[in-house]
Structures are given as C-alpha cells and as structure tokens.
Amino acid sequence: MTIEPKTLGKVAVLMGGDSAEREISLMSGAGVLAALRSQGVDAHAFDPAQRELVELKREGFARCFIALHGRHGEDGSVQGALELLRIPYTGSGVLASAIAMDKVMTKRVWIAEHLPTPRYRRLAPEDRRADHARERLLAVPDELGLPLIVKPPREGSSIGITKVAGYSQMRDAVELAAKYDDDVLCEEFIEGEEVTCAVLGHGAGAFALPVIRIVAPDGAYDYQNKYFTDVVKYQCPSGLPEAEEREIRRLVVHAYRTLGCRGWGRADLMIRARDRKPFLLEMNTSPGMTTHSLVPMSAKAAGMSYETLCVDILARAALDAAVAGPSALDAAVAGPSALDAAGGANP
C-alpha cells in the first residue's frame, strides 16, 4: 500500500524551540520540511519559540512532525499540548516522552525490567550543597570506578557531558552538568564500542533498523563532532557478528516497548569490550534528522530514502488516546523491503 501524501493533510514541522538543542532542531526541521515537500506533502515550518501552539488549530493543521529536540520538544510537554489540541503528532506520547527524556527515570524502568544499563548515581541539588558535599562527590568514583561519565540527565546531543578520569575532576564535571539540569547523573563508564539502533513502529509491530557502529577520534563523540565535522566514522552495516547485531536489535526493541515508545526512536548503547555485553545508555524519542544524523543512515541501509523515511514517520502520527496497538498502517508504511533489509520484525 502506497501512502498518498495529500491524504496526510496540512502538516506543521515543529522546529527550533527554546532548548539548548535549538540549533540542531532547526537543522533537522529544515531537512524534514524539504523532504516532505519534495514528496508532495503540504508541509509548513512552525517554531514554537516564536508562535503559540494554539495557532496550529486555528490554521487547520491536520498533523505535526516533531523535529524539536530537548526540553519542551521531546519531554512530553509539547506532546501534551498537542493532545489537548487533538492534533496527531509524530513520535512517542506524553508519558513515554517524559520518561525517555529523563535518563535517571529511564534507567529505573529498564533496571526494573532487568535490561542492562550502566550502574549510576544521581546527585540531587541537596547532595551538592550539603555540608558533606565534597565527601559525597568523591564517594561516587569509589562506587562506580574510574573513569566515569558525568552528565545532565535531561539534555541530549552530548551537552554538558564530562568523562572524569580522576577524583580532582569531579567537582568541575558536576558543576558543568548542573548548569543544564538540577540533577546530575554520574554513570559507570563502559569501555568498548559505541553503537546506535533505530526503531520504527508501535507495540508488537515495532521493528529495528540496522545497527550503526560509531568510531570517533579518541572516543570524542561530542557535540562538535556529532554535527559539525566529518572526523567520526559510521559503519552501517555495522560489521558486528550476526548474532551480536541480532541481539542488539532485539534488546533495543524490548527497551523501546518497555518505555511505551511509538512511531520511531533511537537507542544508544555501548558494547563492553571484555565480554561483548551490550549496555543501554538512552532512548531518543525525537532523534536528529540532519545530514549527520543516524536514523536516516540506518534507514538508507534498510532500503529507505530520507524522503521515504520522513513520510513514513509522518504517516505514523497519532494521539495517545488513539493508540491501541499496531494498525494496518504500520505494515503498510514499513513495506517489505525495509522489513527484509532490517531482518524482519523483532520478537
């Protein structure tokens, strides 16, 4: 079944916003907007930082493609507003978006479901201001080992992240992360290979796209290298043993379903070098769609062009109340070529 673009109605591509990732969101949104228009979709740019969301209803938009990143974009807030406006939107619903945006809450859910994720310690504001703050900070490396990762739990794009190699770096790392978030997440460092895996669909119909292996210079997969240089190498096909790739795809779909995600998403993982065990780092519910972004790269390996991917994601737009399970559209928009290339639906 082919999706007729005109049946998708008037579409708002939400981009920009007011988060720390505004610059990347504008890049993602511009790419999505051009792709949708090239396929005959009646798509228009809409920046929530410059316009009230209620204008979406007044101007007759039938659905929204959320190309926002970070706070007020993928944390459940804009999703909640669109639920009230009754305008279907791409990606996960309110609860799944809110949980996935908070890496501490995500870990708690995954750990409860016995999914592998690095050990962690959350530092609340009172932990950093108390009389014994220094002792508490220095106790973290004792618990998690060195090196370790310190980051704001509700930011993305590697913003505010530090790899701490020694006790003396803890204070500065925590202060940097605290500039972006009240809480600070300290996480066990997993030595090994970094990979990412995208998912399309909902519920039993969700399936993983091919895994991408990320090779960054000296492991520096930071904000600058993610979006503005070409020094990072992306391997897709990943080159991993078939059994490893299959297990990562299975694990990611399980993690995606556990959080209640829908539409699309992308999980980031580390494969521990000493035993090849994969560890889930985070789930992105509104992944980047720039020229350096990973979901389009994975989709291409599965036989889907950037333009087809954008229409696919848009066609899955929904409201929380309207999602009761996989629909006929899930199978139609996935198409046999994408499913076959990705190895079929995961259990």
Catalytic residue numbers, as ranges? 21, 157, 227, 266, 268, 282, 284, 288
Cα separation of 178 and 181, whole Å?
5
**Mapping DSSP to helix (H, G, I), strand (E, B) and coil, where does residue 305 land?**
coil
- In whole angstroms, give the CA distance from residue 311 to residue 17: 22
* Cα distances (angstroms) measured from residue 304 to each of 209, 214, 307, 308, 322: 10, 21, 8, 6, 27
Taking each helix axis from N to C terminus, what angle separates 328-342 and 306-315, rounded to the nearest 10 degrees? 150
CB–CB of 269/245 below 8 Å?
Answer: no
Grouping H, G, I as helix, E, B as strand and the rest as coil, residue 63 is strand
Distance (Å, whole) CA 112 – CA 120: 14
Residue 277's alpha-carbon distances to 188, 212, 273, in angstroms, are 14, 16, 8
**Residue bearing tokens 């928009």:** 333
> In 211-255, which ranges are E strands?
212-215, 233-235
Element (H, E) at 27: helix 22-38
Task: Respond yes or no on whether the N-terminal peptide bond of residue 278 is cis (omega within 30° of 0).
Answer: no
Give the type of residue at 63: R
The pair of structure tokens assigned to 27 is: 């890049």
Measuring CA to CA, which residue among 243, 344, 320 is closest to residue 84? 320
